[in-house]
Amino acid sequence: MDRLAIVVPCYNEEEVLHIAADALRAVLDDLIAKNKIAQDSFVLFVNDGSKDKTWELIEQEHQTHPTQIKGVKLAGNVGHQFALTAGLLTAKDMADVTVSIDADLQDDVNVIEQMIDKFHEGKDIVYGVRSERKTDTFFKRFTAQSFYKVMAMMGVKTVYNHADFRLMSKRALEHFAKYEESNLFLRGMMPLIGYETDSVYYERKERVAGESKYPLKKMLALAFDGITSFSIKPITLITGLGITIVICCVLAAIYALVSYFTGNVVPGWTSLILSIWFIGGVQLLAVGLVGQYIGKIYMEVKHRPRYNIEKVLED
């Protein structure tokens, strides 16, 4: 029987901690009763340097339910993506399969069972995908959806409407552990792992209590990180712009010279306008070119694993 770890990053979540612990323990009990996971499956709360009583509450929960509730305390606040990674990599050595979920229970805990079923069918990563965004404000919906579209345009593979509610098998986590990069954008990294994946669908609810720990500023930072960690397309765009302007320069040169010889220009205009176009184009092209090399260096220093061998057939 497979041991499940439900990994929950928590930052200032004192209002929701007990509610989340109860709801997730109920999920464990149900799955254990249905013989789908091992008896010693557990919930792993990761305290991301909370300033409130979150850690004390995790300790309390652990005391009352020592086998079912475990905790990891990070020394300071490192942000959702790092806290989740810390939890997943800790759980990897203690469990056969993990499910990551936010503490606020906005994601539907009832689809964890479907995730486990898909895991038993042989899927290594199962994405929780929001089928609707009814409860989000128009602003959140619009920004989030634009984000997925921009990501796709920039050539980053992500699962549409999937955040960080997902199941991962032990071997998927073992490969994930080889990614040493420190600009983390987990949603972009998971599709790089390979293996068979699947999705389950659910409606995202309101937070059970407390307020969002992801203000617009953090959301934009995450989006920016997502693009710049996975794509050097912005640099390629600059190079493209440089080339376009150099081409425009040739057209501008023809126009300026024709105007010059037909004689209806102010003296000095021709040489000025040509210099502006030419220098502008050459500069952008040069910046873009230098950027291409920096982009390559950036990709190299990540030391990402280049492939993931799933199986070798030998005698």
Q: In the bound complex, what is the minimum distance in angstroms from residue 163's beta carbon to Mg ion?
A: 8
Q: In the bound complex, what is the minimum distance in angstroms from residue 314's beta carbon to ligand UDP?
A: 43
Within residues 6-25, the interface with ligand UDP by CB under 6 A covers 9-11, 13
**Residue selected from 15, 61, 96, 104 as contacting ligand UDP according to rule CB under 6 A:** 104
From 36, 33, 43, 90, select the one nearest 66 (Cα to Cα).
43
Q: How far is 10 from 81, CA to CA, in rounded Å?
A: 11
Q: How far is 112 from 31, CA to CA, in rounded Å?
A: 9
CA distances to 150, 199, 282 from 5, in Å: 33, 19, 56
From 45, 39, 1, select the one nearest 24 (Cα to Cα).
45
Q: Which is nearer to ligand UDP, 103 or 115 (CB)?
A: 103
Within residues 175-214, the interface with ligand UDP by CB under 6 A covers 212-214
Applying CB under 6 A, the site for ligand UDP has a residue count of 16
Considering the rule CB under 5 A, would residue 100 count as an interface residue with Mg ion? no
Sheet strands (E) in the chain: 4-10, 42-47, 69-73, 97-100, 125-132, 162-169, 197-203
Residue 167 interface partner, choices ligand UDP, Mg ion, none, CB cut-off 5-8 Å depending on type: none
**Residue selected from 61, 102, 108, 124 as contacting ligand UDP according to rule CB under 6 A:** 102
- Judged by CB under 5 A, which stretch of 33-41, 76-84, 104-112, 218-226 contacts Mg ion? 104-112
Helix, strand, coil percentages in the chain from 3-state DSSP, rounded to 5: 50, 15, 35
**Residue selected from 106, 158, 161, 231 as contacting Mg ion according to rule CB under 5 A:** 106
Q: In the bound complex, what is the minimum distance in angstroms from residue 188's beta carbon to ligand UDP?
A: 17
Considering the rule CB under 6 A, would residue 107 count as an interface residue with ligand UDP? no
From 140, 107, 132, select the one nearest 214 (Cα to Cα).
140
Considering the rule CB under 6 A, would residue 298 count as an interface residue with ligand UDP? no
Q: How far is 215 from 12, CA to CA, in rounded Å?
A: 14
Q: Which is nearer to ligand UDP, 96 or 102 (CB)?
A: 102
Binding site for ligand UDP (CB under 6 A): 9-11, 13, 48, 77, 79-80, 83, 102-104, 106, 212-214
